[in-house]
Chain A
């Protein structure tokens, strides 16, 4: 009886193995796990403000791998934003991370091994919303006030830069760490004097809950923050072809999101996150989509990250040395641009943000 059972198990196993080897492309099953350092309003499973969010919302990655049944795609959206994505990377829970500059630099300084394979939402603004009766009119007025901030996200670094430009440091302000949803609630209940956050504070202004008294929009572009896609070195070494195909999808999404004729469609897609399209319209007003949705890894991006790392150290947001140099792996983006015939579509910028001569 036992031997019959064993025999049938063996037969079933060999049959399964046989079927598995017949499937093309990927003999082994893999799950490509993406982790977003953002989540939509009310925990909606959508991102916004970058081309990876477009690729996700339109199912472009799933479409790319639809003929490879062995490849599964998995998306996670972290309410804890960038810091939570670092924890997920350290725990080997995700392969690709859609991450902001500061948390990724913090992760790298702690020994997380990844490669940046594409830019994913650059020059994002921060907004300062204050209670209408707080008496805060300028950045300087923040001294000693109770202000919410989402610690450890790339907003913190941008905030610190803005403060420094106005002669303040983090110690001058009573910062309370809150995620975006909590900060909005705390503003509404009047528990805090103000909050540094994203463009959705424009909506609070419309509701009369708060006034936006400052944003980096129209100020020094060096105060803006950047995001990117990076992949663990382990995954990149094991599945370079998967990485290439994912990046190609991201570049395709970036091209769509950079096309001015899609402006409204892009904002509508991002609005799946629960942030209204008008918010994006206001945030991106007067700015070319290409400028913010470029996937290129150019000198501008690399030197911006180097600068962010230095600032982060200055502000004591990270300790120890962190080397930016061999973090970037532009070959996938460059190859995708060539394959898609998109050469010259996005301008390359030098370290000072000046466009380089076309044709490079």
Chain B
């Protein structure tokens, strides 16, 4: 299975046509895949809270958005999640590279990894963790769930899911 293609296919199948990204090595393939899709407008952002602002605007303009980012961004975006996405009740699928988990080579990444689920839990953000490749089969359901409930939803994808950091 090509995970990058599967993720992009699921986004398109759920009518997601506006995607902003802040890169991570693990996300390089999916970002490249999204960039090639004619039915997705890909707009890279410089910081993840900026990206969430873009997504909020796109949604109010009638497009279904998504953000692709690293879990370190949870530290950057807590205020935006609470006072924009949640306060105005907007749907936002967040496909997140979950750095600092099993098969992570960089110790510093673990420092945010240990806070990631706790922070998402504190924010009452529905959170899913993809550890095995087959976990991607749930993505379609998660996207439908996100737009059903109009909430930000986190999909954490760790190094094992991607086939090992840098090994993919």
A and B interact physically: no
A: residues with CB less than 8 A from B are none
Chain B residues within 8 Å of A, Cβ to Cβ: none
